[in-house]
Amino acid sequence: MTNGFLSALGLTACALLIGGCAAYHPLPLSEHAHLANRIGDIRHTLPPAAPGANPVSIDVGQPLSVDQVGLLAILNDPELLTERAESDLARADVTQSATLPNPSVSLSYAALLGGPGTTGAFTASLAQDIASLVSYRSRVSAAKAHASEVNANLLWNEWQVAQKARLLAVDLYWGERSIQSSEATFRSLSKEAADVRRAVDAGSLSLTELGPILASQASAERALASMRLDQLKNWQDLDALLGMKPGIRFAIAAPQVPAAPTDLDALISSVPARRPDLVALQLGYRSSDESVRAAILGQFPAFVLGGTYGSDTSDVRSAGPTATFDLPIFNRNQGEVAKTRATRRLLHAQYQARLDDTVSSILALDARSRRMAADLVQAQLGAATAESQAQAARSAYAQSNLDQRSLMDYETTASDRRLEVFGLERGLDEARIALALELGLGLPQTRIDPLASRGNE
């Protein structure tokens, strides 16, 4: 019965060991691209912000705000999907660092072949590496800080992608407005050129009256072609960020960007706690500091402690402790200590440089946005005046009190003023959005898992 119990116990132990082992599962590569054919095919449902909360779906059938375009980019950007695997690698490092080394078991048996002995010799030993336990806590802390650092860096990458998508949305909105205005100007110039050409053919005007109008028409056509090319490139870049085929179009709402902050100094002082890249550098420094501790503790020489039990051929049995250790004469882990200390100094300098650059960028963007806001007010007044003058010129021309060339000058001036306003509007929106990013505002403070809500779409 005892033998049966031992056999069952051995089989159970073997089954548990086999069951705890990892199994191989194939992961074949895709044979085709995963690009959406329309905006409705991309992921557009945000996972719940908290346990028990409902997911939030973005209505892609309506004009999308700038912030919504940024969130869609986070959910669908192909590059972000590949970078998220880095978080899995960091978590695997934590698992590896938290795993204790296995004890070593040694078994030997020597059969009696002759001589005065009476039985075979048997030896068994069990040993455990003690040195690895000394630095265990520091190694685990360093791995956990590194995993948090990777997570913060991935969040910062999400912010960068969302920022690129938001800026593209701003450019596309104001670019479309500029194109519409330029098209109206070009149509007006084409009509005036046709009228003058008929008058020249009829002999009522000289050919010199037609030259300036044709030159203005050609200039407007070149500018319009350049705008359309820039618009096409921006659409292609945004489609790529959203994981869609080039050529997909959707409506973008008028940008609603945050106003200039009134408590800039307070926001600057708290920005290290909000900006994911600064948080990542802090965590990286913490991980490096723990690595320095682990390297210093690693000066403890390799030490293996265990015990042995054995019997010789005369059936004399003995047991006792064993200890194996290195003599720290040549290698006292001084190389690893120097390396980790140098890495910590490097990260210390990198954090200070990033913080200085962040504050400098914030102050510069704030000054730029305030200057552009003041210029925009003046440009709007100038555009309103130019449009009023152009309207008066059209009335005068209709009453034959103004020549064709003068009318064209008034309308061209009004068009240039409108384009100036659109350019300042675009620049101000871009500066305000960039300022919000530098301050760590306006974007999710936690990472978004695009696969978490796949079943809801």
- How do residues 316-327 score in pLDDT, each as one tens digit? 888 888 888 777
Q: What is the pLDDT of residue 194?
A: 86
Please state, in angstroms and rounded to a whole number, the distance separating the CA atoms of residues 276 and 444: 10
> And the tokens for 122?
């048997």
Instruction: Check pLDDT > 50 for residue 2.
Output: no
Strand arrangement, sheet containing 317-325: 104-110, 121-129, 303-311, 317-325
Sign of CA dihedral 439, 441, 442, 447: positive
Instruction: Check pLDDT > 80 for residue 250.
Output: yes
Domain ranges of the chain: 59-99+135-298+333-447, 104-134+302-331
Q: What is the pLDDT of residue 7?
A: 57
Please state, in angstroms and rounded to a whole number, the distance separating the CA atoms of residues 278 and 358: 9
- What 3-state class would DSSP assign to 209? helix
Please state, in angstroms and rounded to a whole number, the distance separating the CA atoms of residues 57 and 386: 44
Please tell me which residue, 254 or 307, carries the higher pLDDT value: 254
Q: What is the pLDDT of residue 445?
A: 83
Question: Sorting pLDDT into bands at 50, 70 and 90, what band is 12?
Answer: low
**How many H-runs (helices) and E-runs (strands) does the chain carry?**
11, 6
> What's the CATH number for 59-99+135-298+333-447?
1.20.1600.10
Question: Sorting pLDDT into bands at 50, 70 and 90, what band is 103?
Answer: confident
Instruction: Kindly state the helix (H) or strand (E) to which residue 2 belongs, with its residue range.
Output: helix 2-19
> And the tokens for 174?
């104001």
- What 3-state class would DSSP assign to 135? coil
- How do residues 314-371 score in pLDDT, each as one tens digit? 888 888 888 887 777 787 888 888 999 999 999 999 999 999 999 999 999 999 999 9
List of long-range contacts for 105-111, beta carbons under 8 Å, 24+ apart: 110/313
Question: Sorting pLDDT into bands at 50, 70 and 90, what band is 6?
Answer: very low
- Predicted structure pTM score: 0.82
Q: What is the pLDDT of residue 398?
A: 83
Q: What is the mean pLDDT of residues 389-394?
A: 91
Instruction: Check pLDDT > 60 for residue 455.
Output: no
**For all residues of the chain together, what is the average pLDDT?**
86
> Distances from the Cα of 435 to the Cαs of 10, 122, 233, 370, 387, in angstroms?
66, 76, 25, 11, 33
- Residue 331: phi and psi, rounded to 5, are -105, 110
Instruction: Kindly state the helix (H) or strand (E) to which residue 307 belongs, with its residue range.
Output: strand 303-311
Asked if residues 48 and 237 have their Cβ atoms less than 8 Å apart, the reply is no
Cβ-proximal residues to 19 (8 Å cutoff; 6+ apart), any chain:
none
318 DSSP assignment: E
Neighbours of 415 (CB within 10 A): 23
Residue 307 class from Cβ within 10 Å (0-12 exposed, 13-18 middle, 19+ buried)?
Answer: middle
> And the tokens for 427?
């620049």
Measure the CA angle with vertex 451, ends 446 and 452; round to 5°.
Answer: 65
Question: Sorting pLDDT into bands at 50, 70 and 90, what band is 17?
Answer: low
List of long-range contacts for 306-309, beta carbons under 8 Å, 24+ apart: 306/103, 306/104, 306/125, 306/126, 306/127, 306/128, 307/125, 307/126, 307/127, 308/123, 308/124, 308/125, 308/126, 309/123, 309/124, 309/125
Side-chain-side CA neighbours of 378 within 13 Å: the count stands at 6
- How do residues 264-298 score in pLDDT, each as one tens digit? 999 999 999 999 999 999 999 999 998 898 888 88
Nearest CA among 278, 433, 430, 289 for reference residue 356: 278
Please tell me which residue, 92 or 166, carries the higher pLDDT value: 166
